[in-house]
Amino acid sequence: MEPYVTVTRRGADRLAHGHPWIYRGDVESAPARVESGDVVTIQDGRRKFLGKAFWSARSKIALRLLTRDEEPVDDDFFAERIRSAIDLRRVAFGDEPAVRLVHGEADLLPGLVADRYGDVAVVQTLVPGTDRRKALIADVLAGELGLRTVVQRNDVRVRELEGLPQEKGVLRGEAPGALEYREGEVRLGLDVLEGQKTGAFLDQRENHLAAGGYARGRCVDCFSYAGGFALQLARRASEVTAVEMQPVAAGLLRGNAARNRAGNLSVVEANAFDWLRDESEKAPSWDLVVLDPPAFAKNKEAVPAARRGYKEINLRAMQILKPGGILVTASCSYHVPEAMLEEIVHEAARDAGRPVQVLERRGAGRDHPVLLGVPETRYLKCFVLRLP
């Protein structure tokens, strides 16, 4: 029998409206013996059953809902949830070997991320509830998919909010070694132990492919990282410049350009803000610009500065585009919702004196589903715009 945690009416209403998180301020009472990572039963002030959840003693998010049913939350429960997430990817992607397998709350598995690259899976257990069960998670993934290796990439700062240490390494199998995966016809190398995130940005994969369809003439990909956008552009453009500030990423980018024999792609190691500012002082000469920066707003307090940053790069991008040029602009800041990003882009267009046509509004790929009622699962926004 799980210990009972009583929540306020506001907390109960939050669950009733579909959100799976209860903040610490909405916990009325919890037994002293409950520990981070334990599964608890949630009840309201009238002792009405509301669900079962992971408990966290450190985070502002005290409860993360697992189920609204009175059912056992045991190893079989988690194994079945993981299988269900894998089944979704099989339906959507068939035998695609590079895919996000589990997307946290959106797959009803709070605090768990799992990406697959062929016969290697990379997991992030971001809360005590999943961290205590990472051996089980690795076993289920390896067994279901016949994996050679399961790696943990738990070297992310969000774990510190839960009192968890920074960790990375092999959980199951052998050292992964150098890996490669495909996005369409493009081959991309990755390092799952040292690269950003889990080794690659799978959430942008479908946007990489879509942007490639607009490529022509001279194109530039700012904040390029490993070249996901740049290499798709290079398949159709006459000339592509990839701007990347980090030397390690720039080296990976050059390796990917060589891997794909993209002789029309050049890498510039520079701060994208500086590069765009310098380029904006010249006559417009670019046919397509991609802006895919890191998250500028990690929290609500950072939003004003983030707005300035997003406006700056979008304004400069519009200034360097020729008439008829295409702007692909993205934001992965959850605290900058789509309506705000559109407002920022509109402000930049007014300052640039350029009309803008919206061709596409895009988000993360289908392997990163959005759970209705949980806006945090819809973090990535991507607009495809034309400046006539």
E strands, 167-211, where? Answer: 167-173, 179-183, 186-190
**Residue among 217, 188, 180 nearest 205 (CA):** 188
Q: Is 242 left (phi over 0), alpha (psi -120 to 50) or beta?
A: beta
- Cβ-Cβ contacts under 8 Å for 356 (sequence gap 6 or more): 318, 327, 345, 346, 349, 385, 386, 387
Contacts of 214 (CB under 8 A, 6+ apart): 288, 326, 328, 384
**Which secondary-structure segment (H or E) carries 255?**
helix 247-259
Q: Establish whether 332 is a catalytic residue.
A: yes
Exactly one of 219, 222, 332, 382 is catalytic; name it: 332
Q: Which residues pair with 290 in a beta bridge?
A: 221, 328
8 Å CB contact between 179 and 191: yes
Tokens 């959850």 belong to residue: 334
* Strand ranges across the sheet with 218-222: 265-268, 239-243, 218-222, 286-291, 321-331, 381-387, 357-362
336, two tokens: 């900058």
For 33, the 3-state DSSP assignment is coil
Among 223, 226, 218, 287, CA closest to 255:
226
* Termini Cα distance of the chain: 64
Query: Cα(140)–Cα(286) distance, rounded to whole angstroms?
Result: 49
Output phi, psi for 358, to 5 deg.
-90, 120
Given a contact cutoff of 8 angstroms between Cβ atoms, the answer to whether 245 and 269 are in contact is yes
Alpha-carbon distance of 297 to 347, in angstroms, equals 19
Radius of gyration of the chain, Cα coordinates, nearest whole angstrom: 22
Longest dimension (CA), the chain: 70
Active site (catalytic) residues: 332
